[in-house]
Amino acid sequence: MAEVVVADVMAAANDVGAAGAQTITAVSTTVVSRPYLTPFEISSGSTPTLESVLVRITAQDAVGIGETTAMTAYSGETTAGLIDAIQSILAPAVVGRPLFDLAGLHQHMDAAVRGRSLAKAAIDMAAIDAQGRALGVPAGVLLGGRVRETVDMAWVIGLAEIEPAVAEAVAKVAEGYRHIKVKGGHDPRRDIELVTELCRSLPAEAELAIDFNEAYDLGTALPMLQRMQRAGLVLAEQPVPGWDVAGLARLTQALDLRVMADESIQSVHDAMRLVRRGACDVFNIKLLKVGGFYRARQVAAIAEAAGIAVKVGTMPELGIATMAAAHFAAATPVATVPADLVGPLLVDGDIVDSAPFTSRPGHAVLPDGPGLGVELVASIAEVTG
């Protein structure tokens, strides 16, 4: 019996060694889009369609798919710019490199171009998917293992009139969501009225957050949030511009509710700056925003060391990137704030099976398949193949 076990272990080790020796042979891109069921609006603009760039990485015996999206109103990027960065700059930097050397891939991408995190994230994501498929293990194994099998999800409501926003929030709590995030930023009086009405209408077990997407200055944000705090708000996301770390710190110190940084945290260096200033209680880590799994884990480590909680956010995105975010949340101990994983549920038909996000409302159920554990629908698979 011992000889059989040893033989099996040796065979598995040889398989892993062979997989680990693979190099990236090709990188390709495909644009896909899905219309929002309702145009998704934030304080900086409205988006009628969720348009994504899929990135396919090919190695000798494995293929992986990543996804990125510009959401120009949030990032300032464009789909054309993402495709150009991936095809003209990043693909030449990673083709021929070892698939399993994620740190090396980032080193070569960073040497090829400064910034461009959204483009780098898609390659990083595709590499992790390909690694998992080559080894036959879920992405979570490559991230150190899952600390949770399901991920609590927040329901996100874009800028809307007060009455329909409240009705949607109440309905989603009835379905099983326990954390509601609404968008604000056009008018402080409207935002106060919205939060007050939501706190009055939602059951006690529901938590409410509002995301301003950098809309206000400190002088406007502080008295507004003091009133919202009295109404029952528990989390305020990026009330002031991303560059105003001092203003964010002042809000964090003055308020009892939790203050979350999003646009203020674009890199590991931003994370350190926020920690040093005591500028927030929560990091919103988006894989696309910081450059993929590799950088997101670095930011999460800073958060853990500083005693800061993490929300895993999305832009929103379609099913590939959203599932990647779910794997990251499941493998990150400090990701205790319900994640924003509703992108596939806001559009008319996803590019993958959306069951992981719908089978238990308010919870994302992690698949056990290799890599990201999801497959493209047939029509999209034919185009990317």
Q: Convert the pLDDT of each residue in 22-51 to its tens digit.
A: 999 999 999 999 999 988 878 777 788 999
How far apart CA 163 and CA 69 sit, in angstroms, is 30
Residue 380 pLDDT: 74
Residue 353 pLDDT: 84
Res. 262: pLDDT tops 50: yes
Residue 2 pLDDT: 41
User: Is 183 designated active site?
Assistant: yes
CA 375 to chain centre: 19
Res. 128: pLDDT tops 90: yes
Higher-confidence residue of 13 and 179: namely 179
Cβ contact 206:179 at 8 Å: yes
Residue 17 pLDDT: 57
Superfamily of segment(s) 142-377: Enolase-like C-terminal domain (3.20.20.120)
| Residue 130, CA atoms < 13 Å, CB-side half-sphere | 32
Residue 4 pLDDT: 41
Q: Which CATH architecture has domain 2-136?
A: 2-Layer Sandwich (3.30)
Exposed, middle or buried: residue 89 (CB in 10 Å: 0-12, 13-18, 19+)? middle
Residue 76 pLDDT: 83
Report the pLDDT averaged over residues 11-16: 49
Residue 74 pLDDT: 79
User: 383 pLDDT band (50/70/90 cuts)?
Assistant: low
Positive or negative, the CA dihedral 72, 77, 78, 79 is negative
CA 214 to chain centre: 18
How far apart CA 179 and CA 114 sit, in angstroms, is 36
Res. 6: pLDDT tops 80: no
CATH 3.30.390.10 in the chain is located at 2-136
CATH 3.20.20.120 in the chain is located at 142-377
Name the average pLDDT for the chain: 92
The owner of tokens 């509703």 is: 342
Helices marked H in the chain — which ranges? 2-20, 72-75, 79-84, 91-94, 102-112, 117-135, 139-142, 162-175, 188-201, 218-231, 245-254, 268-277, 287-290, 293-306, 319-330, 355-358, 378-384
**Closest listed residue to residue 124, CA positions, set 45, 264, 215, 27:** 27
Please, which residues have CB within 8 angstroms of residue 238's CB and are 6 or more apart in sequence? 211, 212, 213, 214, 248, 260, 261, 262, 263, 264, 284
Res. 121: pLDDT tops 80: yes
Res. 15: pLDDT tops 70: no
Active-site residue, from 183, 286, 289, 311: 183
Cβ contact 212:225 at 8 Å: no
